[in-house]
Amino acid sequence: MSISEIITIPNPLLRKISQPIENVDEEVVTLVNNLKKTLYFHKNCVGIAAVQTGVLKRIVVTDVSQSFKEHKNNGPIVMINPQIVYSSGKLSSREGCLSVPDFLGQVERKKKIEVEYLDLNEKKQILKTSGFEAIAIQHEIDHLNGKIFLDRVTSLKTDLFRRKR
């Protein structure tokens, strides 16, 4: 396992569509392990998508258990080819991103989601979640589609905040 370097805006890879995984092979497992290691290396990081390490594959890892301890959550989740199949409600929160190091943004997302994905055993899973975990998953799935949270900020004037270092 190794910590991968994070690509940041305006790297054009962040705007590309990631490709679906066909087989969960050794390469995928290694990639997932590196993503996990990279996620935990960055304090306060709650999710990472493979593209953020320069790999255009539809893999997402989230873990909100450290940052949002008090909220119900599922701990570490590895999602291969994730797809939101149902969503409802609205929830606005301040988001950050390793690939957008200088800013935080107020973003509105769905409050509850149902996401379908493959686990590392190529088994189809359906996860129902809400709140911060749902936000983290939506944020990461956006990356797979070449989107970043800046695209969802309503006003660059009032909803974008420079991050304090």
Query: How near is the Cβ of 80 to Zn ion at its closest, in Å?
Result: 18
47-49 β-sheet, strand order? 47-49, 59-62, 77-88, 112-118, 124-130
Query: How near is the Cβ of 89 to Zn ion at its closest, in Å?
Result: 22
Query: How near is the Cβ of 23 to Zn ion at its closest, in Å?
Result: 26
Please report, as residue ranges, which positions from 93 to 152 form the binding site for Zn ion (by CB under 5 A).
97
Which residues carry out catalysis?
A: 140
Q: Is 60 in the site for Zn ion (CB under 5 A)?
A: no
Q: Which is nearer to Zn ion, 50 or 97 (CB)?
A: 97
Q: Which is nearer to Zn ion, 12 or 26 (CB)?
A: 12
**Most distant pair of Cα atoms in the chain: their distance:** 45
Query: How near is the Cβ of 161 to Zn ion at its closest, in Å?
Result: 16
Q: Which is nearer to Zn ion, 28 or 97 (CB)?
A: 97
Q: Which residue is nearest to Zn ion (CB)?
A: 97
Site string for Zn ion, 82-101 (x = CB under 5 A): ---------------x----
- CB-CB contact of 73 with 47 (8 Å): no
Q: Which is nearer to Zn ion, 123 or 162 (CB)?
A: 162
Q: Which residues bind Zn ion (CB under 5 A)?
A: 97
